[in-house]
Amino acid sequence: MRTDSPNQKPDSPAPELRYAYYRRCQVFRKSGEQCKAPAEKGTHICYAHAGQRATAVRRGRERRAVLAEVAGKMRRRGKPEFGVADIFMDFNAIQVTLAVMAQAVIDGRIDCRTAGRLVVDLQTAAKLLSIIHRKGREGRKGTSTAEARRRRALTTKDTNGHEGSPQIQGQAGQIYVVKELRSVAQAA
């Protein structure tokens, strides 16, 4: 595909020619339509998209700062090889992340929307970790009767087709859960 500007990606659509009398914003919407606003001087994007990009960069920086602080706390707690990606693989690290994030919101180091998105990622990771740990406990001998009743109730719910219950069975399900955890960790 032909590109008219040096900063335009080769796989993106070409700018429309009917607005060639001014430099247009080079951002394409999800629908594939190009933004019709004029680009700012010295840049290839409009004022609104520049603000959105600055906000996204700031939120990413805030998120990385919180996660780096959590990794430092976990290293001080006796896990010297603990990294940011390990946060989503450890229940204790998820709890520490919640505490650090709450303090960061109180101190004004992170905004509420960034904190909310991080909470959703932590909730997803915790749910997937609990599924992995539940699968690991099923193979153990001598499970308690309360746990056996809970497993039977979950199995009954699964066979009845309830929407909220996980439909993960066997090795393929565990592979799916591990892939989900990796994608959550990579988003960090």
pLDDT in tens, 154-187: 665 444 444 444 444 445 555 666 666 666 666 6
Residue 126, CA atoms < 13 Å, CB-side half-sphere: 14
Q: Considering only CA atoms, which of 47, 121, 110, 113 is closest in space to residue 84?
A: 121
Residue 89, CA atoms < 13 Å, CB-side half-sphere: 13
Q: Which residues of the chain have pLDDT under 70?
A: 1-21, 137-188
SS3 144: coil
SS3 188: coil
pLDDT score, position 18: 60
pLDDT score, position 164: 44
Q: Is the pTM for the entire model greater than 0.75?
A: no
Residue pair 84/188 in contact (Cβ under 8 Å)? The answer is yes
Instruction: Say how far apart CA 75 and CA 23 lie, in whole Å.
Output: 51
